[in-house]
Chain A
Amino acid sequence: MDTNKLLYALFITALGMVIVFALLMLLRYIIELMRVIFEHKNKKEKDHAVIEVLAHTPMPLESEQKKADMDDNELVVVLTAAVMACLGGRNDIVVRSITRVGDSTPVWAKTGRHEQMLGRL
């Protein structure tokens, strides 16, 4: 094989990696930009969002995800609403305290769960 061909292959390699990286970098910034735009919008609609969560409570997961950026009062409201929804819409519930329970699962139980999950993966 002549050297020219090898040089051409090296050229393709260099250019190929540059294009792959550049294009995916571009996509990365576009995704970041998209996030900035939508986070901005979401902030405006945040007050509405909490009320909406209250209105459609059968999705406790969503309220959990929002936990991080809510203050404690909002958290109490959301958790209360979730409990109410689970109990079939009863409104005679008063939440007195919410305590975070430490991770008390024994290692063997965790291992068992991992194995089960891996078995399904």
Chain B
Amino acid sequence: MSMVDELLKFFYSMGFTAITWQQGIMIVLSCFLIYLALKKGFEPLLLVPIAFGMLLTNLPLAGMMREPVYEMVMEAGKEVKILVDPGGLLHWLYQGIKLGIYPPLIFFGVGAMTDFGPLIANPKSILLGAAAQIGIFMTFIGAMLIDKFIPFISFTIEEAASIGIIGGADGPTAIFLTSKLAPHLIGPIAVAAYSYMALVPLIQPPIMKALTTQKEREVVMEQLRPVSKTEKIIFPVLVTIVVSFVLPSAATLVGMLMLGNLIRESVELQSILNRLSKTAQNDLTNIVVVFLGITVGATAEGEVFLRPQTIAIIVLGLIAFSFGTAGGVLLGKVMHRLSGGKVNPLIGSAGVSAVPMAARVAQKVGQEANPNNYLLMHAMGPNVAGVIGSAVAAGVLLSMLGK
């Protein structure tokens, strides 16, 4: 082989000779997302790994998502599998999503970080967490009907359910359900879910203000009763048993969430549990977030991501968030009437989970109406109920549509 041939061979092994236009766009897009995360502070904890995962998976010829290759060889009359190529790093990390391992682990950490006290103190607020799930189902129907409006886009029933779950405003739940029902859509759905969660402070207030009167927003709620330690410890165990008996498919998410919470609440009884509680809240969650983020980003391969469907998913996701917020606020209004004006309907908007961002938004909008209004703790009730609600909704969809 001549030197020219050698040089040519090297030339063709370089990335830019093999780049497709989709990969080019995705690389630019991932750089833009990194900019948004770092400069604009859009959920940097998640968006940096996601955007970098996107970058890595779209690098031409790097093959970080490639599957392992085996060769079947006859050896002494038997067929033997020989590993030819071990596959890309991201392919193996992706198994945690494909097999549904990372999202429950994140839920474990979320449970250890969540105080269900406000919910236990005001059990009625759990209904607001249920009402906000209407966004999931409305979007599900919307995704099924989309081919009536845009003829060249259509979704199967499993895909529609995965798109609807964006309305649960809960990243891990959305990824969990999508990995079971429509794994090829994980990229767009996760990107839509996490983008809208970062945009909650922009999306929710106009809807909240449109649906409530100034007088309703000004309502100051009674202080919550103190919750005893015993109640806080019994709560996670009870919820796990009740939810899993009724809806076994929700057991994975709810079970892990409640295990984290039980460890958190038991620290005062057995201080040695503090080690587990701290690990769940910090180290474990951080590690899983890195793996989850990078592999979610890695599913956004240009050829799959750059399709009209992705735009439809992102628009439908916005509809899901808006309907969820509206559902919560409207039930909040009903409760406002029934309670004789004691409930501020704004706390209903926090029912879309997105902990604790949605509760902060309720606090902020309430305080704009009345500077003496502190809704944060009241909004945390529906907020944490929303996490349980969206896990239950995911369980329903999984049990009806799962294979």
Contacts and interface: CB of A to CB of B under 8 A. Distances in A.
Given A6-B144, A17-B137, A34-B234, A24 B396 contact: no
Nearest to B224: A65
Contacts of B154: 1
Given A6-B144, A31-B120, A38 B228 contact: yes
Interface stretch (A8-16, A81-89, A90-98): A8-16
Interface string B232-266: 00110011001100110000000000000000000
B129 interface: yes
A42 B229 CA distance: 12
Given A17-B134, A24-B392, A9 B120 contact: no
Contacts of B385: 24
A27 B242 contact: yes
Interface in B378-403: 385, 388-389, 392-393, 396-397, 400-401
B238 A30 contact: yes
Contacts of B145: 1, 6
Nearest to B250: A23
A24 B144 contact: no
Query: Which of A10, A32, A34, A107 has most chain B Cβ within 10 Å?
Result: A34
B235 A121 contact: no
Contact of A27 (B126, B141, B371): B126
Contacts of B397: 12, 16
Main secondary structure of the interface of B (DSSP, over half): helix
Nearest to A34: B231
B111 to A, nearest CB: 15
Interface of B: 119-120, 123-124, 126-127, 129-130, 133-134, 136-138, 140-141, 144-145, 147-148, 154, 157, 160-161, 226, 228, 230-231, 234-235, 238-239, 242-243, 246-247, 360, 363-364, 367, 371-372, 376, 385, 388-389, 392-393, 396-397, 400-401
